[in-house]
Amino acid sequence: MLHFLLRRGLATAPVLLIVAVIVFLLLRMTPGDPAAAIAGDAASAQDIARIRAQLGLDASIVTQFVHWLGQVLRGDLGYSFFYRMRVTDLIGQRLEPTLSVAAVTVVLTVLIAVPLGVLAASRRGGRLDRFIMGASVLGFSVPVFVAGYVMIWLFSMQLGWLPSQGYQRIGDGVGPWLRHLALPCVTLAVMYAALIARVTRAAVSEALTEDYVRTARAKGIAEWRMLLRHALANAAVPIATVIGLSVAGLIGGVVVTETIYAIPGLGQLTVDAVLSRDYPLIQAITLFFSLVYVVVNLLVDLSYLLLDPRIRY
Amino acid sequence: MTSISLRDDAPASAAVPPAAPRAPARSLLRRLLANGGVRIGGVLLAAMLLLAVAAPWLGTIDPNAMDPANSHLPPGARAEFTTLAGDSFDRFFPLGTDSMGRDLWSRTAYGARISLSVGVAVALGSVAFGLVVGMVAGYFRRLDGVIMRVMDGMMAIPGILFAIVLVAVWRPSLLTVILAIVVPETPRVARLVRSVVLSVREEPYVEAAVALDTPTWKLMLRHILPNTVAPLIVQGTFICAAAMLVEAVMSFLGIGLPSEVPTWGNIMSEGRTHFTSHPSTVLLPGLFLALTVLAVNMLGDGLRDALDPKFKARGG
């Protein structure tokens, strides 16, 4: 187990290194001189030259990369051009809303999608199955921002049930926190539920063709019990895998959702950073999200141990 | 949008059809048309294509012509439209106008051009790049490790974020938007192609060709490439749908094509500020986008069922 952790952890190192190279090169590819960008419009040629030297921009690109990577590894991701503060502090400030949106969305998605997928698999080929699958194609075809505005229009403007803008800290009470998260999270969950319901249906359908299911049926086990204990339990690994992989899409979705619902999280910070061409911030956010994606998928790999006792690392 | 990196990695596609026996074209078409999703998706998509191609003849005016006196007309309104040049004419506005008095029907029709061309161009581009990378990685085993690690690294950066950052770096234009979406999609195609190549290269007919001293390029073109066609058509369709979503998201966030270009995302982005008073400015172009993406996804589902019978048998 420890051995596996170590090996799997080490295997992610080259992936993260490549991510770092890509992110570093992205900044290099920007048109114009970063030193001039930092110095601002009123800077003299001497100012720019001084900043160039300060940033080490006159060294070779490999030296620059090694230097930058060293800083990143020490947790120093530089200063935001726009906010004039450490980007790590900025990211820290914006973490809570984004984590809240992501966590509630994942929980909601699993609660909706897994039962629907199991239901569809158990009625495979039937009317209910076709309805659920049809709805799922619809679900992941509707763009997040379209779904978002339909929700605002319906639940906020027409019915007046839920707030459509802003975020409340969880520290100020769970009730208001959930009320503000309801619309953004349902919006995001529509798409993920569609995807995960499909995968659940496929995995459970496959498990249902196995011999142990026939044996269980022959023993006269209740159908729901068979579905949960035998079919779903054996379908858990592919479902967990997709949940892990879909985190990448979730991050993209969060960027859009936070913009629609005016949630001051990392997604909105990303859009602001891109619009103001705040390159150190863009770099840091990209690195951060990639790290999250890699770590989540590492955890998913570990969850196989819990989900499937046949798997031993 | 978000759906960009989802389905292609799902376990369903983990098992690539190894060299499905080639069905005669006609029976394939029949199988496709037997699928209700393909028929509905096909008709919808054909309608959108018609809208895009025939935009100038569908009762549209210049999508950027504005008349501030006619701002925020409701759908179905009729008004006297005066262009900035001073020309004046009576006009029916099927979808109403936006805050600058631009005709939303014209903008939406021209927007179909952008969405569809981005979708198709990204699908072709990422399939082409992914095909080359995947074939090289799958066939030249020495390069495999390096190439696939780079691909893994690219895939670890969430797709939409990657595309947004690339556009920010390159400055938005139609070409950069397309390229920015192609880059994150390419590794997924490469991975798929590589897995096909790896399974095919052990087949007896490839070994026979190697034994006969067939040149490598010929081997790749004649014996390996045809096996990638079916999975790539399916994958390409889903990429097309995902690309249209990403483009719309970028426009919507104000990061994509310049705001005067009539894209569905831009129309919605413009309507966003007036959403509470004029929801149709956002919802109507959104409906067009959703229907187009839905059509392409339905087509993709049908193609997968028809081209990969094993997928259906597996319970997909």
Q: What sections of A30-143 are H helices per DSSP?
A: 34-39, 45-55, 61-73, 87-122, 127-141
Read off the pLDDT of residues A222-244 as tens digits, 9 standing for 90 and up: 778 778 777 788 788 888 888 88
Q: Looking at the complex, report in whole angstroms how far the Cα of residue A142 sits from the nearest Cα belonging to chain B.
A: 5
| A102 and A151 assigned to the same domain | yes
- The sign of the torsion formed by the CA atoms of B249, B251, B252, B255 equals positive
Residue A180 forms part of a structural domain: yes
Q: What is the mean pLDDT of residues A32-38?
A: 65
Q: What is the mean pLDDT of residues B290-316?
A: 76
CB contact under 8 A, A19 and B153: yes
- What percent of chain A is helix, strand and coil (3-state, nearest 5)? 80, 0, 20
| A31 and A120 assigned to the same domain | no
Does residue B313 register a pLDDT over 80? no
Q: Among residues A246, A1, A34, which one has the least CA distance to residue A140?
A: A246
Tell me, yes or no, if A271 comes closer than 8 A to chain B by beta carbon.
yes
Contacts of A23 in chain B (CB under 8 A): 157
Does residue B2 register a pLDDT over 60? no
| A157 and A222 assigned to the same domain | yes
- Helix orientation angle between B141-156 and B174-200, rounded to the nearest 10 degrees: 140
Residues A39, B226: Cα–Cα separation, whole Å: 55
| A110 and A153 assigned to the same domain | yes
| A84 and A182 assigned to the same domain | no
Beta bridge partners of B78: B92
A 10 A CB-CB count for B65 gives: 18
| A71 and A164 assigned to the same domain | no
Residue A312 forms part of a structural domain: no
The pTM score is 0.84
- What ipTM, to 2 d.p.? 0.82
Read off the pLDDT of residues A41-95 as tens digits, 9 standing for 90 and up: 677 778 777 777 776 666 777 888 888 888 888 888 888 877 888 888 889 888 8
Tally the domains of chain A.
2
| A297 and A223 assigned to the same domain | yes
A 10 A CB-CB count for A42 gives: 6
CB contact under 8 A, A248 and B149: no
| A224 and A114 assigned to the same domain | yes
CB contact under 8 A, B275 and A22: no
Q: What is the mean pLDDT of residues A196-206?
A: 86
Q: Whats the size of chain B, residue-wise?
A: 316
Q: Looking at the complex, report in whole angstroms how far the Cα of residue A216 sits from the nearest Cα belonging to chain B.
A: 20
Contacts of B170 in chain A (CB under 8 A): 29
Does residue A149 register a pLDDT over 70? yes
Among the candidates A67, A88, A109, a domain finishes at A88
Burial B186-218 (b: 16+ CB within 10 A, else e): bbbbbbbbbbbbbbbbeeeebeebeeeeeeeee
Residues in A 52-91 with any Cβ partner in B closer than 8 A:
none
- Percent of chain A exceeding pLDDT 70 equals 93
CATH superfamily label, B113-310: MetI-like (1.10.3720.10)
Is there a contact between B196 and B231 (Cβ–Cβ < 8 Å)?
Answer: yes
CA atoms within 13 A on the CB side of A48: 12
pLDDT of residue B65: 80
CB contact under 8 A, A138 and B294: yes
| A105 and A78 assigned to the same domain | no
Residue A6 forms part of a structural domain: no
Residue A256 forms part of a structural domain: yes
- What percent of chain B is helix, strand and coil (3-state, nearest 5)? 70, 5, 25
Among the candidates A88, A117, A141, a domain finishes at A88
Residue A8 forms part of a structural domain: no
What is the CATH classification number for the domain harbouring A147?
A: 1.10.3720.10
Residue A100 forms part of a structural domain: yes
Domain regions of chain B by residue span: 113-310
Does residue B155 register a pLDDT over 70? yes
Does residue B296 register a pLDDT over 70? yes
Q: H or E segment at B80?
A: strand B77-82
Residue A1 forms part of a structural domain: no
| A232 and A247 assigned to the same domain | yes
Q: Among residues A245, A246, A262, which one has the least CA distance to residue A148?
A: A262
Is there a contact between A9 and B141 (Cβ–Cβ < 8 Å)?
Answer: no
Q: What is the mean pLDDT of residues A146-155?
A: 87
**Owning domain of residue A158:** 91-307
pLDDT of residue A300: 84
Does residue B102 register a pLDDT over 70? yes
| A77 and A201 assigned to the same domain | no
Residues B252, B236: Cα–Cα separation, whole Å: 24
Residues A165, A180: Cα–Cα separation, whole Å: 7
Q: What is the mean pLDDT of residues A130-136?
A: 87
Residue A196 forms part of a structural domain: yes
| A73 and A154 assigned to the same domain | no
Tell me, yes or no, if A15 comes closer than 8 A to chain B by beta carbon.
yes
Among the candidates A71, A88, A105, a domain finishes at A88
Q: Among residues A188, A198, A223, A186, which one has the least CA distance to residue A117?
A: A198
CB contact under 8 A, B315 and A205: yes
Does residue B99 register a pLDDT over 90? no
